[in-house]
Structure 1
Amino acid sequence: MSESLHDRHRAVLPDWLALYYAQPLEITHGEGRHVWDADGNRYLDFFGGILTTMTAHALPEVTRAVSEQAARIVHSSTLYLNRPMVELAERIAALSGIPDARVFFTTSGTEANDTALLLATAHRRSNQILAMRNSYHGRSFSTVSVTGNSGWSPTSYSPLQTLYVHGAVRDRGPFAHLDDKAFIAACVDDLRDLLGHGRTPAALIAEPVQGVGGFTMPPDGLYAAFRDVLAERGVLWISDEVQTGWGRTGDHFWGWQAHAESGPPDILTFAKGIGNGMSVGGVVARAEIMNCVDTNSISTFGGSPITMAAGLANLAYLQEHDLQGNARRVGGLLLERLRSEAAGVRAVREVRGRGLMAAVELVVPGTGQASPERAAAVLEAAREGGLLIGKGGGHDTSVLRIAPPLSLTVAEAEEGARILGRALRDA
């Protein structure tokens, strides 16, 4: 059945629509931290639909909220008052840390970042954007143009002039040999030099932890130091929290809070986990920035009653069960176990992460050369062992990405680490 579905997929969908595995997987249902395929095989899910199944598969509180809302009304658009949208916006505005916050809902992280770029360029009257090397911000024409990862940027044409900044990858590049304090100072000097040439940019867009880039991150405080420099020129800071939001990093509810000395970002974008699989994204910004658009606008699908009901139920569950605390506790254990399993595997360059965002970077043994072939082999071996994980990194995709639902148990963390350890050794 899967082979037939794969043939049908190839016949009607784009060649560039990536599929994992030599024999692609059809997932039919899930429960908790597990999913099942069309052949009845059960897997421990350590990728959650690309960090989107944030709390659990088939979470009763969310499925009940969706069902009850669907029985009332599924869709109305933003042309009408929408109680679930207002209620979720109130909750997110309060949690964002941004003063006098306004919230606009979209259907994806790509659309959220696209909107943030629109707001920033309109507010600042500049089409120049600063972005981080190795970054990923989405699939649209504007977000591709600020993506610093060449493996995900299919065109050089752009509505924006983008300048790329050092700092998001701690252990590679010209400043890698420096200690954290000197690293930050060097990156700040580089930013000052960049700003000294040409027109003033509208904004810096940055992921606190790079997702597609392989869960790489700078030392805590880097973006606060950047913010001080940017503020001198009125340049906005956009924090792309599509993968780091909602407590996944454990230590903080938002990734920007690891860089909080200068306060919250001017604009924050979110998506993925808040809907627990429903299509929810959004932008939070100060009122003066959000309201700078001086033309009419609407969203047909953003903020739909059914997705807002899911978001409200999911956020309530997350907070009531302290899943941020669980990400910190169980995520710390998972990282410890992964490092133990990877010890002695010469192809493993580094195990890194924060909370329930963990990564294993693979190289050709004895070199620093990326090894996408090994990453692909480990992905297959992990699946054979009953574990689903993801891939990422630079254009070479040599990093294994591990991001289970935030309700992961200690026993499941240990089981997943054992399976991945075997896959690393076997592959």
Structure 2
Amino acid sequence: MTHAELWERHRAVMPDWLALYYDQPIEIVKGTGRRVTDGEGKEYLDFFAGILTNAIGYDIAEISDAVREQLATGIAHTSTVYLIRRQIELAEQIAELSGIPDAKVFFTNSGTEANEAALLFATQKRRSNQVLAMRNSYHGRGFGTVAITGNRGWSASSLSPVNVQYVQGAYRYRSPFKDLPDAEYIKVCVDDLRNVIETGTAGDVACLIVEPIQGVGGFSSPPDGLYAAFKEVLDEFGILFISDEVQTGWGRTGDHFWGIQAHGVVPDAMTFAKGLGNGFAIGGVVARPELMDSLSANSLSTFGGNPISTTAAKATLDYIADNDLQANAAKRGAQLMDGLRGISEEFPELGDVRGKGLMLAAELVDPANGKPDAPTTVKLQQEAKDRGLLIGKGGLYGNVLRMAPPMTLTEEEATEALEIMRDSFNTLR
């Protein structure tokens, strides 16, 4: 069956709003290492990895073998009403890695669920439905997480279970304060935070939730230290601080295991998902015990923390540690950043290159006026695909190319990707 035929069937039964890449969408049917093959036999170097989910690549023996061993027991699911050994072992590992004192862990099936749970814990603990979020943010497609998404392109409803105020600072490239030095930029953003709390809320705010690097927002981030300065203000008001690590966790940013560590601060809670399972569905929250235990009613998760997903996640975390993939993310990220900056020197259409480790973004602009250029972004994404490189797209205006390859990326593959990117940009001339 061709891609065109499969797409016709897709459109007949799937929702119109379900986003697909490319004028002619593709099916991915096989993968090994950092490469995938589509349904018509074309091979690609994958630089988006299932939206940062296949964190260490495809067909990883250590993960496959661990999952097969669990399946051989005949137990794929038991639910959290029973003890699950692998869930407990994984929770112990994540709690220790979190840096949160005496941390506890709750597992879900996705980042959306994780952020919904974190909102529940925070609003219950503080007895308030007031929440602070960042402009240009994205936290999921649930009712509560859509409400705290500060990106109009992904806000499907104006209805909300929480009262949300948005804070300035995470998307510096188009901020009115972007030309300020780091210290002054941080100061004006902190002043804005305080002003929002004092004028736009009743004071008893439940939490602030942030992405250390905004994912859908185009891999944008503030100067290191902003969120430590924010937390000083939050602490004055007793407001909880939540870091959404769905895309930034597990060493992907290179210099740190968690994205928030770049700011020198320990949050009250962190949410996680995506790369932890290397393709298996898993998410969760790690938090201070008094926050995690704040629920007064019974609860559970039918599928969250199931034996298969937690087995895959434990094998993934062990693989990351055993192979020092955080260090590899730093090295390969620096190589890609240098290459992209070199391209930006030749092509004024590449207005901004940013990111950390293996989270890299290229923001496309009209060279004449600096305005966002979404059509050129779509063209370059297609050109890269035609040359055998899959990359993502995002940003508030749909004008940001996002690159997040598996953390096992090699030097040769990074070089190959940069050559494809340069060839793609050459089509603009």
Q: Same fold (TM over 0.5)?
A: yes
In 2, Cα distance between equivalents of 1:70 and 1:25 = 30
Match of 1:310 in 2: 312
Match of 2:133 in 1: 131
- Choose which of 73, 77, 80 in structure 1 pairs with 2:79: 77
In 2, Cα distance between equivalents of 1:209 and 1:183 = 17
TM-score by length of 1: 0.98
**Which structure 1 residue ranges, 4+ long, deviate > 2 Å from structure 2?**
none
Point out the more displaced range, 324-333 or 188-197. Answer: 188-197
Point out the more displaced range, 410-419 or 365-374. Answer: 365-374
CA contact (8 A) 1:28 1:38 kept: yes
1:365, distance to aligned residue in structure 2 (A): 2.1
In 1, Cα distance between equivalents of 2:244 and 2:34 = 26
Question: Does 2:211 correspond to 1:207?
Answer: yes
Match of 2:94 in 1: 92
* Number of equivalenced pairs: 424
Match of 1:403 in 2: 404
In 2, Cα distance between equivalents of 1:60 and 1:343 = 41
In 2, Cα distance between equivalents of 1:273 and 1:97 = 19
In 2, Cα distance between equivalents of 1:110 and 1:70 = 27
Match of 1:272 in 2: 274
**Residue type of the partner of 1:287?**
P
- Choose which of 207, 216, 223 in structure 2 pairs with 1:219: 223
In 1, Cα distance between equivalents of 2:72 and 2:16 = 38
Match of 2:245 in 1: 241
In 2, Cα distance between equivalents of 1:152 and 1:128 = 21
1:279-315 Cα offsets, whole Å, 9 max, x none, are 0100001110000001010101000000000000010
- Choose which of 137, 141, 144 in structure 1 pairs with 2:143: 141
Gaps of 5+ in 1: none
CA contact (8 A) 1:241 1:255 kept: yes
Match of 1:383 in 2: 385
1:194, distance to aligned residue in structure 2 (A): 1.3
1:368, distance to aligned residue in structure 2 (A): 1.5
Match of 1:108 in 2: 110
Q: After the TM superposition, which residues 150-189 of structure 1 pair with which residues of structure 2 at under 5 Å, given as runs?
A: 150-189=152-191
1:107-142 Cα offsets, whole Å, 9 max, x none, are 000000000000000000010100000000000000
CA contact (8 A) 1:362 1:372 kept: yes
Match of 2:35 in 1: 34
**Residue type of the partner of 1:225?**
A
1:330, distance to aligned residue in structure 2 (A): 1.0
SS in 2 for 1:343: helix
Match of 1:62 in 2: 63
Match of 1:16 in 2: 17
SS in 2 for 1:196: helix
1:238, distance to aligned residue in structure 2 (A): 0.4
Gaps of 5+ in 2: none
Match of 2:256 in 1: 252
CA contact (8 A) 1:31 1:58 kept: yes
TM-score by length of 2: 0.98
In 1, Cα distance between equivalents of 2:278 and 2:195 = 42
User: What's the RMSD between the two structures over aligned residues?
Assistant: 0.8
In 2, Cα distance between equivalents of 1:409 and 1:20 = 26
In 1, Cα distance between equivalents of 2:379 and 2:187 = 39
1:192, distance to aligned residue in structure 2 (A): 1.1
CA contact (8 A) 2:344 2:351 kept: no
In 2, Cα distance between equivalents of 1:425 and 1:107 = 42
In 2, Cα distance between equivalents of 1:144 and 1:150 = 10
SS in 1 for 2:132: strand
1:342, distance to aligned residue in structure 2 (A): 3.1
In 1, Cα distance between equivalents of 2:336 and 2:386 = 20
Question: Does 2:336 correspond to 1:334?
Answer: yes
1:58-77 Cα offsets, whole Å, 9 max, x none, are 11111111111112110000
CA contact (8 A) 2:392 2:402 kept: yes
1:170, distance to aligned residue in structure 2 (A): 1.7
Match of 1:421 in 2: 422
In 2, Cα distance between equivalents of 1:119 and 1:425 = 50
CA contact (8 A) 1:381 1:423 kept: yes
Match of 1:319 in 2: 321
In 2, Cα distance between equivalents of 1:107 and 1:301 = 7
1:174, distance to aligned residue in structure 2 (A): 2.1
1:343, distance to aligned residue in structure 2 (A): 2.3
CA contact (8 A) 2:173 2:352 kept: no
In 2, Cα distance between equivalents of 1:343 and 1:276 = 35
1:364-383 Cα offsets, whole Å, 9 max, x none, are 22212111111110111000
1:206-232 Cα offsets, whole Å, 9 max, x none, are 000000000000000000000000001
In 1, Cα distance between equivalents of 2:141 and 2:382 = 26
1:425, distance to aligned residue in structure 2 (A): 2.0
How many percent identity over aligned positions?
Answer: 56
CA contact (8 A) 1:342 1:424 kept: no
1:257-300 Cα offsets, whole Å, 9 max, x none, are 0111xx31001000000000000100001110000001010101
SS in 1 for 2:346: coil
